[in-house]
Amino acid sequence: MLWVDKYRPHTLDKVMVHMEEAQHLKNLIALGDCPHLLFYGPSGAGKKTLIMALLREMYGPGAEKVKVENKPWKVEAGTRKLEIDLTTVSSNYHVEFSPSDAGFQDRYVVQEIIKDMAKSRPLDVAGTKGFKVLVLNEVDKLSREAQHSLRRTMEKYSSACRLILCCNSASKVIEAIRSRCLNIRISAPTKEDIVSVMQHVAKKENLQLPMGLAGRIALQSNRNLRAALLSFEACYVQQYPFSENQAVQATDWEQYVTEIANDIVTEQSPKRLFQVRGKLYELLSNCIPPEIILKRLLVELMRKLDSELKREVCHWAAHYEHRMQLGQKAIFHLEAFVAKFMSIYKRFLIANFG
């Protein structure tokens, strides 16, 4: 089992980062009922860990007995009948799924599953909670229509189920939903937090983790706890006992982006752009999200830039990131950014060095 999963805290008490939020959540559950919740924050901050711990707090260990189901949902949309395949993870008490998997049919999925859940409301003699919990991932990737229908369904079935929404960016969730939920922001753990978690894991695994290495792993992870732990484990596999100045390898796609950045800076020409396009395609076909590629590329390019160019380059990166959200074919926008950068950088080089 990966350390990430092995040492994931299972109760709100054992949480090592965001202890304050955990305590608040615990108190909230103690009141007996809970509102709809919206967790948002960057990837690897611990949203899911908190959600699972919260579910366990509500329902006891039973909530962790999950089964994975992939079943087609039959949805009647007006006159048409749709069949949508969807994978859900569910226990007796909750159902979790990513509605954005259903693509443009996401809104039917949201309605249908919530309806379905509301039908089979748990009626326990023992007097447990009279509602089920629905965990929706990646709410920010839902289409607008789906979000609106989510809002309506939320109101209609609020007596039967509670929603826990989880997303990276709350700004992509419509106001109407945000105002109906208790918003909980999960910030990225600080470097110190990450180091302390790693030390905790090292102690459990009986490893000696030098502080320097821990620091560098934490730094490289960009305040992403999951990435840090994965990277830590990779370091362990690579070499143990650890040495203070052991190299922390970046993931291969990150290395690849660095390579692209180097390509761009060394030569600016249509021919080079063509090569870069090939590499971008390679990343895209390996399912690396274009936004992340762009962001990473920007970071890499920034390292090599004079400060007078940084503002302009950032501007264009933001411009094309926005375009990417509006459009469909990410490569057009990624490439437009690269071309723009080449153009700016070349002009700069000619102006300064002739």
Partner 1 sequence: MRRSENSQRRRLLKEKKEERDSFDGAAECRTENMDRLKRKADARKPPKGRLKKLRIKGSGEGENSADDLDRKGQVEGESRIKVYDENFTRIFDHGRKRFEDKWRRGDAQLFDSRLWVDKHSPTSEKDLAVHSRKVAEVKQWIEEQLRDPSKAQSRMLVLTGPAGVGKTAVVRSLANSMDLEVLEWRTPTPILWHEYSHHAVTGAPYMSKIDDFEAFIRKARKFLPLPTAGVHAARQGPTLPGFKDGNPSKERAKLLIIDDLPNAHDKAHRQRLCESLHVLAIGSKFPTVLIITDEVGTGEQREERKILTNEIIQELERAGAKKIAFNPITVNGVLKVLKRVQLIEKCKAPFPCLSAIAESCSGDIRQALTSLQFLCLGYESKPSHSSVWDPGGCRVDKRSSNKSFQKLDTESDVSKTPALGDRDLTLSLFHALGKFLHNKRQSDAQVQASSFDGLKLKDEYCRNPLKMAEPETILSQAHAETSTVAAFLHENFLQFVDDEATDDVSAISGYLSDTDCLLCGEGSMRFRRAVLNFNDIEPYQVANAASSSVAARGLLFANAHPAPPRWQTLRAPSLWQVERQHWQKKVETHSQAFSHTTFVSSSVLHTEMYPYRHRLPIQSPGAAVPMEDHEISNVETPFVEEDEMEVDAISKETSSVKEHSYVVEPRSSEIDIEDEIEEW
Site for partner 1 in 245-274 (CB under 8 A): 249, 251-254, 256, 268-271, 273-274
H/E stretch holding 96? strand 94-97
Q: What is the distance between the alpha carbons of residues 301 and 263, in angstroms, rounded to a whole number?
A: 10
* Cβ count near 117 (within 10 Å): 20
Q: Which stretch binds partner 1 (CB under 8 A): 29-37, 124-132, 203-211, 225-233?
A: 225-233
Task: Compute φ and ψ for 95, nearest 5 degrees.
Answer: -130, 135
Q: What are the residues whose beta carbons fall under 8 Å from the beta carbon of 345, sequence distance 6 or more?
A: 264, 265, 268, 305, 309
Q: Which CB atom, from 152 or from 347, has the smaller least distance to partner 1?
A: 347
Q: Which stretch binds partner 1 (CB under 8 A): 23-31, 57-65, 116-124, 179-187?
A: 57-65
Which parts of 86-105 interact with partner 1 (CB under 8 A)? 87, 89, 96-98, 101, 104
Q: Which of 287, 306, 308, 354 binds partner 1 (CB under 8 A)?
A: 287
Residue 325 beta carbon to partner 1: minimum distance, rounded to whole angstroms? 9
Q: Which of 29, 265, 292, 302 binds partner 1 (CB under 8 A)?
A: 292
Residue 326 beta carbon to partner 1: minimum distance, rounded to whole angstroms? 5
Q: Which CB atom, from 11 or from 158, has the smaller least distance to partner 1?
A: 11
Q: Which of 17, 52, 201, 301 binds partner 1 (CB under 8 A)?
A: 52
Q: Which of 18, 36, 48, 162 binds partner 1 (CB under 8 A)?
A: 48
Q: Which CB atom, from 212 or from 327, has the smaller least distance to partner 1?
A: 327
Which parts of 149-178 interact with partner 1 (CB under 8 A)? none
314 binds partner 1 (CB under 8 A): no
Q: Which CB atom, from 273 or from 302, has the smaller least distance to partner 1?
A: 273
Residue 228 beta carbon to partner 1: minimum distance, rounded to whole angstroms? 10
Report how many residues bind partner 1 under the rule CB under 8 A: 81
* Pairing assessment for the beta strands 37-40 and 161-167 based on DSSP bridges: parallel
213 binds partner 1 (CB under 8 A): no
Q: Which CB atom, from 10 or from 180, has the smaller least distance to partner 1?
A: 10
Q: Which CB atom, from 32 or from 78, has the smaller least distance to partner 1?
A: 78
Q: What is the distance between the alpha carbons of residues 149 and 151, in angstroms, rounded to a whole number?
A: 5
Query: Locate tokens 């969730």: which residue?
Result: 173
Residue 98 beta carbon to partner 1: minimum distance, rounded to whole angstroms? 6
H/E stretch holding 38? strand 37-40
Which parts of 113-142 interact with partner 1 (CB under 8 A)? 135, 137-138
Q: Which two tokens stand for residue 279?
A: 């590499």
Q: What are the residues whose beta carbons fall under 8 Å from the beta carbon of 300, sequence distance 6 or more?
A: 257, 258, 260, 261
* Pairing assessment for the beta strands 67-77 and 94-97 based on DSSP bridges: unpaired
1 binds partner 1 (CB under 8 A): yes
Whose CA is closest to 181, among 18, 39, 49, 50?
39
Site string for partner 1, 60-79 (x = CB under 8 A): -x--xxxxx-x---------
333 binds partner 1 (CB under 8 A): yes
Q: Which CB atom, from 32 or from 278, has the smaller least distance to partner 1?
A: 278
343 binds partner 1 (CB under 8 A): yes
Q: Which two tokens stand for residue 82?
A: 């749709």
Q: What is the distance between the alpha carbons of residues 131 and 109, in angstroms, rounded to a whole number?
A: 20
Task: Compute φ and ψ for 84, nearest 5 degrees.
Answer: -120, 125
Strands of 182-185's sheet, edge to edge? 67-77, 80-90, 94-97, 132-136, 161-167, 37-40, 182-185
